[in-house]
Amino acid sequence: MVVFLTSKELAKRWKMSEGTLRNWRATSQGPKFVIIGVRNVLYPLESIEKYEIFNQPVRKQNG
C-alpha cells in the first residue's frame, strides 16, 4: 500500500512553509508529487524518504 503525505504534513515534517513546497513544485524541485483533482497535492512517502537520503546537508570537517 502506498502511503502519502499532504503538503501540510510534509511542511511540518521538514519545518518549512507550505509556500516553499509550492514554489519547489513550480520549479521542479523537491520530491515527486501527485495532484488529485484541482488542489489536492500528495507526496508519496517513498519519494520523500529517497529525497531525504540523497539531499542531506554535507557537514564540513575541521582540519
CA distance 27 to 7: 16
pLDDT for res 11: 96
The three grid cell numbers given for residue 35, joined into one nine-digit string: 495532484
pTM as predicted: 0.85
pLDDT classification of 59: cutoffs 50, 70, 90? low
> Span 4-54: which CATH code?
1.10.10
| Residues 6+ positions from 54 with CB-CB distance below 8 Å | none
> What pLDDT shows up at residue 39?
86
> What digits encode the pLDDT tens for the residues 8-51?
999 999 999 999 999 999 999 999 999 999 889 999 999 999 99
pLDDT at 63 over 60: no
